[in-house]
Amino acid sequence: MRKDAKAVFIAGLLASSAAFPGTFDESRVAASFLKIGTGARASAMGEAFTAVADDSSALFWNPAGLSFVQKTEFQVTHNQWISDVKADQFMLAIPAGGTWGLAWSTLDLGHFAEWDGPGVVTGRTFTVNDQVFSLGYGNSFFAETVQMGATAKYVRESLGGGIGGQTYSMDIGATLNPWDTLPGISFSAVLQNLGGELAGFELPQGLRLGTAARTPGLFNKPKRSSPDLIGGDSEGRTPYPWEFSGSEGGDLLISSMELLLPATGRSEVHWGFEYWMNFVALRAGYRYRFPRNDLGGMSGLTLGLGIRGRGLQFDYGFDYAYAPYGDLGDASRFSLLVAF
């Protein structure tokens, strides 16, 4: 991978330059790392996930979705980009009068040589990294017809040499499940990164509007009755996706669409699909950034798969050079989820 690709990536991620006037219309926005998606599952579905979110990653996508987590759950995600640029997230969800979520996210841009002037290298290095600590809560109302939740964030950015800043922000989300009249259909709305400024710049605030449809037994009918999608299991609990397609031998198709309306910058539309057959999930998605994807049509394509066991799930997500960061090549995400 070319060294200059990393420099372009960092310039775009920090949104500290208007060197790309046709692309970086977010140059007045700080902490652009807050836009990096969490979880290989969501990534593989084209990040059309706010109306789907039903695990601990809901803390990022839609805190209302935390209410679906009925078991203590831990999830870790690793995102490997170019060179030594990497992002990691650690998420914990605990049901207790609703569901509480805790998360620590970090973006490490690696080491850089320190310069003391044009062409003068001091021999020292410095690091650039960003961190987000999140605390969220979600709960269900009206027999799971409505979910609501909120996430509070502490955001810290370090650019080396004592340069950086910190601030606070909040996400607020809601999901409507009119399953008595529209079985399996959900609608969601999430306001992200409300409040707070970093070094005099606003955070990447935005509104996400999503819808999702869940269709069990589409291609393979269960051998025996599976937990009901609408009413939940015998305990009134909405099952995890793999519980629809496990020992009962059926399948589950989830399709979703999402519109991202940022306060500053260009709007995006996302599509995603997830198909569970027994213990395997296949995923695909697409992300389109108006008026066009800067790297061409293929740059919005995402793919992935998931494998589950009893309370254990591994997810892999793959996407090709999405976002206005130049020729970065492929990016891979890995997630491990444990529910107990």
State pLDDT tens for residues 130-185.
888 999 999 999 888 899 999 999 988 776 666 667 888 999 999 999 988 888 89
Residue 221 located in a structural domain: yes
The verdict on residue 117 lying in a domain is: no
CATH of the domain at 289: 2.40.160.40
Structure tokens at 269: 């539309």
Q: What is the DSSP string of 169-238?
A: EEEEEEEE--TTTSTTEEEEEEEEEES-EETTEE---EEEEEEEEEEETSSS--SSPPPBTTTBSTTSPP
Question: What residues are paired with 208 via a beta bridge?
Answer: 190, 260
What are the pLDDT digits (tens) for 39-98? 888 888 989 999 999 889 999 999 999 998 888 999 988 887 666 677 888 999 999 989
Cis, peptide link before residue 227, omega less than 30° from 0: no
**More confident position, 325 or 267:** 267
Domain contains 151 = yes
Rg (CA), the chain: 20
Residue 116: inside a domain, yes or no? no
Residue 8 lies in a domain: yes
Inside any domain, residue 120: no
Q: State how many domains the chain has.
A: 1
Is 105 contained in some domain?
yes
Q: Residue 46 belongs to what domain range? A: 3-111+126-339
In a domain, 164, yes or no: yes
